[in-house]
């Protein structure tokens, strides 16, 4: 955990010294496609992760896409799929909005979950995320950030905290 925190801190420090969006990546009418890595509890996850804990293999794949309806503001949809020890989990989904403050600080609010149906079987969350966007060129950014998911059914599920590193393509 200490290495992850140090790496995230170094990335953020580098990002503040580096550029923000300069070539119109965040303007109305542009598209965003991103994949995130997730560290921590992955719930309703559209993140990419692989783990092996006590001999139990788990993985998740997913991606998110967004459309800028206004400069710096994108509406997003995401889908993910995961397995635990070869057994498929229901599809994860995310619906939300992402706003870039000063073109470099992405703030996201979303509703995410796994599967559909009964609350005790399929968790849902309201999530909030903040990070920093490092634009590596006209079409690529790296966005380290932190996310907190508020469980909508606290009698069945707990709130969760995540560290993410996002990789985004801008068109």
Are the beta carbons of 131 and 166 closer than 8 angstroms? yes
Which of 36-40, 107-111, 135-139 has the least mean pLDDT? Answer: 36-40
The yes-or-no verdict on residue 63 having pLDDT over 90 is yes
Per-residue confidence (pLDDT) for residue 17, from 0 to 100: 47
State the pTM of this model. Answer: 0.81
The total number of structural domains in the chain stands at 1
pLDDT at residue 89, rounded to an integer: 63
Q: Would you list the DSSP string of 73-124?
A: EEEEEEEEEEEETTEEPPPEEEEEEEEEETTTEEEEEEEEEESSS-TTTS-E
- In CATH, what number is assigned to the domain containing residue 46? 2.40.160.20
- Give me the percent of the chain exceeding a pLDDT of 70: 82
Q: State the Cα–Cα distance between residues 148 and 129, nearest whole angstrom.
A: 6
Q: What is the pLDDT of residue 53?
A: 81
Bridge partners of residue 16, in order along the sequence: none
Structure tokens at 122: 């399929």
Instruction: Give the pLDDT band (50/70/90) at residue 7.
Output: low
Q: Could you list the residue range(s) of the whole structural domain that residue 41 is in?
A: 2-170
């Amino acid at each position: 955990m200490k290495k992850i925190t140090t790496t995230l801190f170094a990335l953020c420090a580098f990002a503040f010294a580096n550029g923000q969006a300069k070539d119109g990546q965040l303007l109305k009418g542009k598209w965003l496609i991103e994949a995130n890595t997730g560290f921590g509890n992955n719930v309703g996850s559209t993140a990419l992760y692989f783990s092996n804990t006590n001999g139990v293999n788990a993985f998740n794949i997913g991606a998110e896409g967004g459309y800028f309806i206004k400069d710096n503001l994108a509406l997003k949809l995401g889908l993910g799929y995961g397995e635990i020890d070869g057994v498929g989990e229901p599809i994860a989904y995310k619906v939300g909005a992402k706003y870039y403050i000063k073109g470099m600080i992405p703030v996201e609010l979303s509703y995410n979950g796994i599967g559909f149906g009964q609350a005790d079987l399929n968790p849902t969350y309201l999530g909030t995320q903040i990070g920093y966007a490092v634009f590596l060129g006209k079409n690529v950014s790296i966005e380290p950030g932190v996310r907190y998911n508020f469980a909508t059914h606290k009698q069945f599920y707990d709130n969760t905290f995540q560290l993410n590193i996002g990789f985004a393509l801008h068109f």
